[in-house]
Structure 1
Amino acid sequence: MIFIVSQDLRSVEKTSQISFANLNLWERQHIEEWIRKAPDILGEDLLVVSAEFDRFSGSQDRLDVLAVDRQGNLVVVEIKRDPYAGYADLQAIRYAAMVSAMTVEKLAPHYLNYLEKYVRKDRVTLEEAKNQIVEFVEAEDFEELTTKPRIILCSEGFSLEITTTVLWLRQCGVDISCIQFTPYQVEGKIVIVPTKVIPLQTAEQYQVDIQKKQEERARQGGGPRRRPTLQILIEKGLIKGGEKILLKSYLPSHIKYKESDPTFSGVLVVTPGQSCKVRWDKDQQEYAISTLTWRIFRDLHPEKKDPGGVNGNWHWTLESGDNLWDLAEEALGRQERI
């Protein structure tokens, strides 16, 4: 949140964040333009070399923003308006793979087109465009772009599924980060607060936790896979058939929990020999917990977007407020997320 202090320093007013959807702001028309015109909004010095890059052989995909950093890396910037961006990580990885073979020689014509379209009205030569790229890179021994493009995901927020995937990719050596854009409306103007949410200290702790898990499994010779969350809770006597559960944990920013709304509640159905289901209060039908969560997230999105992979156990709680996934982790005697 933002606090506005009066000029006489006597009053302070809190300004709550608002959503891009409520402001009627869009990825390509607005957010992409901000990044293109002021790339340092991403927290570093970047040279934008193309926008809406679509020069992929055999593909009609469009990369939002393509840039070069001071170290000579290509930077793929993937923009999503809200946290309900299913497969944003996979999409960005695909773009990074497609441009990984790009050389300065191949990039220069695209940068020339970008300069002529957005930056300079006077004629720029291909050699000048190439020199601008080379001169931007600070490395003294720079000769060629690296073959491992960096990835920056930009959004109003990020789902737990996206952040978990990004953290895992970083552990595997992929240079991928998440920049959160938080919009506010202040005195008739829109204020954007950019925050790098990954990597942060929490990400470093995640890496430590993963390393501990790997070491533990190595000592145990691999060990069995974790059983389904609801199965663990039933076996441990922590839940039972007929128990009410609520959809209120780690919700996307555009979804607000409403206590009286049957959309956000259901009853556990336990049938011996079968997977535990959830009887949804809204239609009294039975669903697998992740299937139901996926449907609700999709239906409540303003544009009915596919939320991608969803682990329902992260989002449902008991009436006590205990998150199902966390409760199962505690029952197993560990506090790690995968």
Structure 2
Amino acid sequence: MSLFEISNDGLHPISLATFGSLGLQERGDIQKAVRSHIGAITPGVRTKVIAEEFGDWAGANRRIDLLCVDEHANLVVVELKRDDGAHMDLQALRYAAMISTMRFEQAVAAHRKYLNDNDSSEDPEQALREFLDIDEGPIVFTDTVRIVLASANFSSELTTAVLWLNKQGNMDIRCVQMRPHAIDSRVLLDIQQVIPLPQAAQYTVALREKSIEKDSVRSSTRDTTKFDLTIGDSFFPNLPKRRLMLALVREAIKQGRSPDQIRDAIAWRKRDLFLSAPGHANEMTFQSLFPGKKLRYFFGPDEIFFFDGTTFVLSRAWGDRTLEAAELVKQLLRSPGEVSWESTSSGGEEEEETYDGYVIRRLASGVIQLERDGQVVSPAMPVLRKLAQQLDISTAYGSGTEANTQQLGKRIINALQSA
């Protein structure tokens, strides 16, 4: 596909160049640029660089250009070619096989070298745990090693091989084309994923990534439990433990509880529960107070607390005692009886209550079924709204919008169970 510049007299084509003709080197220029913006060649999957020129195996005379990990704990082999990706598919497969048994400890060691080489004082294990959103416990990479091939051109032999391999089992090989264009003294890079085509293969890729995510959960001891939180009339669905804590602490501070009172309640986290800075501060302010340290705290615009002339940020690192801490913060609130949370994990027991001639049933998957006289009522939402009004239950969602069927059905069942 050609690149054009729009001007007053129409379209002017911008000539396609080659990296070689522009004097750009494979490692010193292209690889350096890509490693700093790895998302450019890994669209749709959050990815982090672990190591560069990695070859930590016996008898290695070749090295992986960029060794990465994605958000689903899959290792990712990235191979870059300047102008022609002739046989990079077979080379990448060899690398994928070699690193398929990599342990987390080995990845930490490789990342330590990468950070040192780039003059970073960041802690490698903490950086990887932060990226994978796993605070504590062992981390196990999945059995899947993804491959990203990035080049200016791909031969038909290579693309045919990749298409065939992607159809065999749990392979995920992507070809990303990088085409340079020169405009005056600037170089523009047109980056397109050509295999699989995002539009044509969207459904297939989504299925594969869902399977990969499930494998990741099964092969890791990470606690992925999420919770639906209710505070009075407000409902906050599908919160990880750390965000459950953030929501409760936010409510406590909103009700006038001080950070010191919250610290005292969670005694074992008193030292590192909050960081504080005088006046109105942001993430840059806190980083300047703790130079070279990776701060694992909430810094979002709606996550920073300003109390009594001081800015506070809450820790993002929570472990096995999170729910114990949540109970303690709950007791600081004015109406703890109006605060509750429930695991959203599938596989639980069905719940069923009867009211006003209707059977309200919540399946293990969370789906709400409504029956009357043995017949399924569909759509259920109008009846749920009516029942909620009769029971004096709010139909509002946490952000002010209306709760959906699952959220409202769960509230009605909870109200009937506690009546």
Short-chain TM bin: 0.5 to 0.7
Give the Cα–Cα distance (whole angstroms) in 1 for the partners of residues 173 and 200 of structure 2: 12
User: What RMSD over aligned residues (CA atoms) do the two structures have, in Å?
Assistant: 2.5
TM-score normalised per structure 1:
0.54
1:4 aligns with 2:1: no
Larger-Rg structure: 2
- Aligned residue among 122, 128, 131 for 1:133: 128
Aligned-residue offset at 1:175: 0.8
Secondary structure of 1:102's aligned partner: coil
| Amino acid of the structure 1 residue aligned with 2:20 | A
Aligned to 1:64: 65
Aligned-residue offset at 1:91: 0.3
TM-score normalised per structure 2:
0.44
1:97 aligns with 2:93: no
Secondary structure of 2:73's aligned partner: coil
Secondary structure of 1:72's aligned partner: coil
| Amino acid of the structure 1 residue aligned with 2:182 | Q
Identity across matched positions, percent: 35
Give the Cα–Cα distance (whole angstroms) in 1 for the partners of residues 16 and 138 of structure 2: 43
Secondary structure of 1:112's aligned partner: helix
C-alpha change, 1:201 and 1:110, in structure 2 (3 Å) is closer
Displacement over 6 Å in runs of 4+: 139-142
Aligned to 1:88: 88
Aligned-residue offset at 1:138: 4.8
1:75 aligns with 2:72: no
1:118 aligns with 2:114: no
Give the Cα–Cα distance (whole angstroms) in 2 for the partners of residues 87 and 166 of structure 1: 11
C-alpha change, 1:142 and 1:185, in structure 2 (3 Å) is farther
1:197 aligns with 2:194: yes
Aligned to 2:21: 22
Aligned to 2:109: 109
1:221-232 → structure 2 map (5 Å cutoff): none
Aligned to 1:239: none
Secondary structure of 1:177's aligned partner: strand
- Contact 1:71–1:138 under 8 Å retained in 2: no
| Amino acid of the structure 1 residue aligned with 2:6 | V
Aligned-residue offset at 1:80: 1.1
Aligned-residue offset at 1:31: 1.3
Question: Greater relative contact order: 1 or 2 (C-alpha under 8 angstroms, separation 6 or more)?
Answer: 1
Secondary structure of 2:163's aligned partner: helix
| Amino acid of the structure 2 residue aligned with 1:131 | Q
- Contact 1:72–1:139 under 8 Å retained in 2: no
Q: Which moved more, 1:60-69 or 1:152-161?
A: 60-69
Give the Cα–Cα distance (whole angstroms) in 1 for the partners of residues 191 and 140 of structure 2: 31
Aligned-residue offset at 1:13: 2.2
1:1-338 → structure 2 map (5 Å cutoff): 1-6=2-7, 11-44=10-43, 45-83=46-84, 85-120=85-120, 122=121, 124=122, 128-138=123-133, 143-172=139-168, 173-200=170-197
Give the Cα–Cα distance (whole angstroms) in 1 for the partners of residues 153 and 134 of structure 2: 34
Unpaired segments ≥5 residues, structure 1: 208-338
Give the Cα–Cα distance (whole angstroms) in 1 for the partners of residues 26 and 47 of structure 2: 19
Aligned-residue offset at 1:86: 3.2
Secondary structure of 1:49's aligned partner: strand
Unpaired segments ≥5 residues, structure 2: 205-419
| Amino acid of the structure 2 residue aligned with 1:26 | Q
Aligned-residue offset at 1:34: 1.1
- Contact 2:69–2:75 under 8 Å retained in 1: yes
